[in-house]
Amino acid sequence: MEKIAERYNSSRSFNIWRLSGGSIAAMILLCLALTGLALAQNYYPTVISFNADRNQIYEGENATLVWVVTNSTNVTIKPDIGEVGLNGSIEITPKENSTYFLNATDGENSSAATVTINVIKRPPELLYFKADKTKIKRGENLTLYWNVSNANDVFITPEPGRVDLNGSAVVTPRDTTTYSILATNAGGSATGPAVPQLSVDVNPILYEFIPNANQANWYYYDGKKATPIDFGGSDTDNRGSASWMDNIRLCDDSVAQRVLWTHPSWRNNGWIKGEYDLGDYVVQEDDHIYGKVALKKDAGWGDVIFEIILFPEMENAVVISETPVECSSGIKTFDIYLNRYAGKKVKIALATLANGGADQDWAVWLDLKLIRG
């Protein structure tokens, strides 16, 4: 056993020496070459580091370049900076995307590095967006105020639309409305401390007469008394008519969308009337009825009186509003407060009366609402 081991060890040593003997000189030369290269590199210009504290900035902001270089007799940074020391830092304010080039040289050899700074446009800043009032009565005006910086476009919806960067505008919301402001540029949309929405509370509508006209009880004057008539009849019916119509051109040449069209019975001083049952409605101090009325286009001979009639509980009916309209009158508006009847349960009727002959008395109720506040 010992002889076998000696032979194995002897053979192993011989093989290792035999394999190494042919290449040992080359290995020594390679090691010396690598060592020489490493030593030589220690004397060449070398950029150890070249960085920026931020590689993306907004327009007008600063960034700082920082570098470390060895074995150089001349270090330059382009553009706009020039010759610098072997290590240091410098604050820069590029106006657009820029790449900075650092070059280190000893006259014969050189080393280089680059840093890129991206410049992005600062988004708009919404400084404020407010109104002089956040609760109004129907028909009142309010003023919007705003101030935006660094924007290309500013829009306020639903009105007044496109506006200047700062200013004010008078608006008249008919219902509770949320106004939104949007300021934009290439950098994005508005940011800032102000909430870009403004809600204006308009006093509530208790009842809308036009969309509920088919729920009213309609009557026409037959020359002796009030006689029932169906809603939605023909506008050529000589008994009179009441119906909805769309896209009606008015005497002032404007076009109204859905309206309540009424024509009194076709006789001298004829009329048509719709009585509305408002259920358990009880009048409060600040309740009022707002309306707009007009005549249809080409009603050149038309001469109509629009009436609002109140039926207080346990009292006689009373006409609370009379609005005479001819074609030349254009659109007329009325607003009747009901505070005299506060605490009473009431019914309400609307009527169209021929002021003399009924020819061409094409009467249009554009708006009619019961409003609180």
Confirm whether 5 is domain-assigned: no
Q: What is the CATH number of the domain that holds 235?
A: 2.60.120.200
Which residues have a Cβ under 8 Å from the Cβ of 154 and sit 6 or more positions away? 124, 146, 148, 162, 163, 164, 165, 181, 182, 183
Bridge partner list, 128: 147
Q: How many residues does the chain have?
A: 373
Q: What is the pLDDT of residue 10?
A: 39
For 33-73, the pLDDT digits (tens) are: 444 444 445 689 999 999 999 999 988 899 999 999 999 99
Residue 197 and residue 78 share a domain? no
Residue 237 and residue 138 share a domain? no
Confirm whether 10 is domain-assigned: no
Residue 85 and residue 51 share a domain? yes
Confirm whether 238 is domain-assigned: yes
Residue 337 and residue 259 share a domain? yes
Q: Is the pLDDT of residue 3 over 60?
A: no
Per the structure, the count of domains in the chain is 3
Confirm whether 40 is domain-assigned: no
The band of 190, judged by pLDDT with boundaries at 50, 70 and 90, is low
Residue 111 and residue 240 share a domain? no
Residue 309 and residue 163 share a domain? no
Amino acid at site 157: T
Mean pLDDT over residues 13-34, rounded? 42
Q: Which of 120, 148, 182 is the last residue of a domain?
A: 120
Q: Is the pLDDT of residue 372 over 50?
A: yes
Residue 258 and residue 129 share a domain? no
Residue 353 and residue 226 share a domain? yes
- The backbone torsions φ and ψ at residue 61, rounded to the nearest 5 degrees and listed phi first, read -85, 165
* Choice between 300 and 97, residue whose per-residue pLDDT is larger: 97
Q: How many Å apart are CA 247 and CA 219, to the nearest integer?
A: 26
Lowest mean pLDDT among 88-102, 188-202, 331-345: 188-202
Q: Which of 174, 202, 230 is the last residue of a domain?
A: 202
Domain membership of residue 132 as a residue range: 125-202
Confirm whether 359 is domain-assigned: yes
Q: Which residues of 312-326 are buried (b: 16+ CB within 10 A; e: fewer)?
A: beeeeeeebeebebe
Confirm whether 252 is domain-assigned: yes
Confirm whether 16 is domain-assigned: no
Residue 212 and residue 262 share a domain? yes
Q: Which of 183, 202, 221 is the last residue of a domain?
A: 202
Cα end-to-end distance, the chain, whole Å: 118
Residue 100 and residue 155 share a domain? no
Bridge partner list, 292: 333, 367
Confirm whether 346 is domain-assigned: yes
Q: What is the CATH number of the domain that holds 85?
A: 2.60.40.10
Q: Is the pLDDT of residue 191 over 70?
A: no
The band of 202, judged by pLDDT with boundaries at 50, 70 and 90, is confident
The band of 13, judged by pLDDT with boundaries at 50, 70 and 90, is very low
Residue 178 and residue 321 share a domain? no
Residue 139 and residue 244 share a domain? no
For 236-284, the pLDDT digits (tens) are: 899 999 999 999 999 999 999 999 999 999 999 999 999 999 999 999 9
